[in-house]
Chains A and B, each alone.
Chain A
Amino acid sequence: MDIETLHLGPIKIKNKIAIRLFSALDDRLGVKEILDDEVFEKIVPAHLGFWSCFGGISFFLFISQVLTGMLLMVYYEPTIEEAHGTVAMIMNEVPFGWLIRGAHAWGSNLMLVTIMIHMVKIYVSGIYKPPRELNWVVGVTLFLLTLGLSFTGYLLPWTQLAYWATVVGTETPAALPYVGEYIRYAMRGGEEIGQVTLTRFFAIHVMLLPVITASVIGLHLIQIRRQGIAGPM
């Protein structure tokens, strides 16, 4: 690019060094085309209102959960001796620990609320109809994954309520014929709830489910990109 002014949408860049740097990148990666397509020359429908933003907010809350979750992992120890104490330490001793845990705990509740609002909105305005049937299926999967994240995360502070809620929660599927007992055994990692349960809930909560959820969010967004945002009714 041998130009005086670099146009990026409404931005005009005249600085020679900036243009040289940008051209160097563009020659190698074709960034101008991507930036124009995805950012500077992109248009979005004008009819999107307040009720359309809850999917995006749920996505942002997921990112926030990942970040606050990583911070909590710095101090949290997933053992039945230390779990409760380390969470107490995060809340009482670590500077701003109360904020990080608060944002994580509130974030999980808020995320479920925003997902529910998002689902109601999609249902009421019939956006799940062709060609978007598959994305509804993917969306419900995300809702279930979020419930799974909440269920596994709830046990981690190893409190009385969490422990006994998990006792009941893992007992429920045991009622199913034939497979029930095995499901309970797999969820608990044994007959009883103890260290093995905490270890596996921790692994599922911080690695397995977040990675799956992130991938499924990717599927959700790719479908939106391919199908475009639903038009007005």
Chain B
Amino acid sequence: MSSDTSTEGMDGTRRGFFATMALAFFGSVSALGFAYPLGMYLWPRERKVKGAGERSMKIPLSDVPIGEARFVRFLGKPAVVVRPNEQQVIALSPICPHLGCIVKWREKEKEFLCPCHGGRFDSKGIVLGGPPPFPLPPFSSSVEAEYIVIKEV
């Protein structure tokens, strides 16, 4: 926009030009001076989540009857422990890789079903059907003296 701001007594476009430039300069400097601290202030802090820090957790074996699943909080996020039969203990992230809903365990079918868009997974988290693009991420799990120990992979 080639507007020249010449006021009365300030004739000639040159003075108007310099005035505009000076105004633009101080304007942008002060705008930056406000924008920088504002942006820094508003940028989210990293906050410690309760339970974060412990990289493993223990659950009594008796808490998870055979054929059932238990949902627990692990590293600040949900985790599920399931015992489909006598031998197997499986720990998974129940967050559906499609759009982030929490899957449900269906005892009869021995599979996970996502309530949002019907994604189906077997007890190991492998996709059986529906929109999920990849399996449920696993945690490592082992049984140590009547306890199930979940660890990050």
Query: Which A residues contact B (CB, under 8 angstroms)?
Result: 10-15, 17-18, 71, 74-75, 89, 93-97, 99-100
Contact = CB atoms under 8 A, between A and B. Distances in A.
B41 A12 contact: no
Contact of A12 (B3, B38, B42): B3
A10 B6 CA distance: 7
B11 to A, nearest CB: 11
A207 B130 CA distance: 47
Contacts, number: 40
A14 B43 CA distance: 43
19 contacts: A10-B5, A10-B6, A10-B8, A11-B3, A12-B3, A12-B6, A13-B1, A14-B2, A15-B1, A17-B1, A71-B41, A71-B42, A74-B41, A89-B45, A94-B41, A95-B37, A95-B41, A96-B40, A99-B37
A95 B2 CA distance: 40
Given A10-B8, A74-B42, A96 B37 contact: yes
Interface residues of B, number: 15
A75 B2 CA distance: 44
Nearest to A75: B45
B152 interface: no
A22 to B, nearest CB: 11
A23 to B, nearest CB: 15
Contacts of A71: 38, 41-42
Contacts of A75: 45
B37 A18 contact: no
Contacts of A95: 37, 40-41, 43
Nearest to A97: B41
Interface of B: 1-8, 37-38, 40-43, 45
Given A96-B37, A97-B41, 11 more contacts: A10-B8, A12-B6, A13-B1, A14-B2, A15-B3, A18-B1, A18-B3, A71-B41, A94-B45, A95-B41, A96-B41
Contact of A100 (B6, B41, B43): B41
Contacts of B38: 71, 96
Contacts of B8: 10
A97 B42 CA distance: 10
Contacts of B41: 71, 74, 94-97, 100
A141 B5 CA distance: 42
A11 B40 contact: no
A105 to B, nearest CB: 16
B34 to A, nearest CB: 10
Contacts of A17: 1
**The 8 A-B residue pairs with the shortest CB-CB distance in the complex, in nearest-first order:** A95-B40, A96-B37, A10-B7, A13-B3, A96-B41, A18-B1, A15-B1, A15-B2
A111 to B, nearest CB: 20
A89 to B, nearest CB: 8
Contacts of B4: 12
Contacts of A97: 41
A19 B99 CA distance: 50
Contacts of B6: 10, 12
B7, B8, B45 interface centre (most CB from chain A within 10 Å): B45
B3 to A, nearest CB: 5
